[in-house]
């Protein structure tokens, strides 16, 4: 398996789909099988619900998740009771989710499970840290639709992105959307001595001056930028947005006369809720976006078939994407 060796360089991996039905669960199952063939045990959890045989949103058939003997998994009490394996409980969390407490268990044979793990990033981080205490090679996080937080480099050390016809039935549109997501994931890292300090900041817009000093601009919301225009650049043009960044902020910065001097820093790519148009508008004016923490994107996996039965040419899609990306592209359905 081409990217298994690279995955094993990291302690944790998140698998995230750009949309539902892009082959995320097939990719997950493939990796689990490859680990089993190498006699490597894993620790697996999810930040959403996955492994159900029928999608609750689209009412279409879904692949189920199969785990193997001596590996560990975390799921809710509700879904633990529905497991199709023999397992030994090793821990039950004090924290509760909407589906009950979180159960950590060791699989005693092979079988199918439904994953419904931690519901927020901080709780997910706890379980990833706890996975080190178990006899496993890697912790795998099954991502969820529109829940990119599991892909944050603060949470997992590496990432696989899945895309496919469910994103768009038009190859050109699909490639454009995937390339844009890839480019955000691979934004350059901002080098400074204050990475830890900036990472701990929970809110607000901050500036880093020419002496590398950090300043709180005391702007209560990025939605009020135009009302505090005089404050924004009083300490220079290097800005740190501690929360989410939207088109509104990029468009505001793009319209500044000195846009070409502006560097906008975000914690990581998962904080960017921006369109391709706003991003390129800002970049064309000379603006720069950098991240404090850079994601290690291992590969992009494609699913050329949509739930509606639309099928794109796998080789054309894979080869076209590969020309645009600097990571390997695979059709996960052709790797077995």
Quick one: pLDDT at residue 300?
96
pTM, whole model, 2 decimals? 0.89
- Rounded average pLDDT over 30-34: 94
pLDDT above 90 (res 30): yes
Q: Name all domains of the chain by residue range, CATH numbers in brackets.
A: 4-186+295-334 (3.40.50), 195-291 (3.40.140)
Give me the DSSP letters along 90-153.
EEEEEEEETTEEEEEEEESS-EEE-EE--SSHHHHHHHHHHHTTSS-SEEEEE-BTTBGGGGST
Per-position b or e across 192-205, b if 16+ CB within 10 A of its CB: bebeeebeebeebb
Quick one: pLDDT at residue 119?
77
Quick one: pLDDT at residue 272?
93
* Residue 320 token pair: 């076209």
- How much of the chain, in percent, has pLDDT values that exceed 70? 92
Grade residue 172 by pLDDT with cuts at 50, 70 and 90. very high
Sequence-distant (6+) residues with CB within 8 A of 193 are 212
Asked if 24 contacts 32 with a C-beta cutoff of 8 angstroms, the reply is no
Helix (H, G, I), strand (E, B) or coil at 201: coil
Quick one: pLDDT at residue 29?
93
Quick one: pLDDT at residue 128?
87
Kindly state the DSSP code that residue 191 receives in the 8-state scheme. P
Grade residue 50 by pLDDT with cuts at 50, 70 and 90. low
């Amino acid at each position: 398996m081409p990217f298994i060796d690279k995955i094993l360089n990291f302690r944790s991996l998140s698998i995230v789909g750009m949309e539902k039905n892009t082959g995320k669960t097939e990719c997950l199952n493939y990796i689990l099988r490859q680990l089993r063939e190498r006699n490597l045990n894993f620790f697996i959890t999810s930040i959403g619900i996955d492994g159900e045989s029928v999608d609750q949103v689209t009412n279409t058939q879904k692949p189920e998740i199969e785990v193997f003997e001596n590996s560990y998994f975390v799921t809710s009490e509700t879904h633990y009771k529905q497991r199709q394996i023999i397992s030994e409980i090793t821990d039950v969390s004090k924290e509760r989710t909407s589906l009950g407490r979180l159960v950590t268990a060791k699989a005693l044979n092979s079988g199918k499970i439904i994953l419904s793990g931690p519901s927020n990033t901080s709780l997910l981080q706890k379980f990833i840290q706890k996975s080190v205490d178990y006899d496993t090679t890697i912790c795998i996080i099954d991502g969820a639709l529109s829940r990119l937080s599991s892909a944050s480099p603060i949470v997992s050390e590496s990432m696989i992105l899945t895309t496919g016809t469910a994103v768009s039935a038009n190859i050109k549109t699909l490639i454009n959307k995937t390339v844009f997501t890839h480019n955000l994931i691979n934004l350059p890292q901002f080098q400074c001595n204050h990475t830890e300090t900036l990472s701990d900041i929970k809110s607000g817009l901050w500036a880093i001056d020419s002496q590398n000093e950090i300043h709180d601009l005391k702007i209560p919301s990025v939605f009020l930028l135009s009302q505090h225009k005089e404050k924004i650049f009083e300490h220079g043009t290097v800005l740190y947005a501690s929360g989410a960044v939207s088109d509104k902020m990029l468009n505001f910065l793009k319209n500044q006369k000195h846009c070409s001097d502006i560097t906008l820093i975000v914690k990581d790519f998962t904080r960017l809720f921006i369109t391709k148009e706003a991003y390129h508008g800002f970049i064309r004016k000379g603006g720069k976006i950098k991240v404090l923490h850079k994601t290690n994107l291992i590969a992009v996996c494609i699913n050329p078939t949509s739930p509606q039965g639309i099928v794109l040419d796998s080789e054309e899609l894979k080869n076209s994407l590969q020309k645009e990306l600097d990571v390997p592209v695979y059709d996960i359905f052709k790797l077995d």
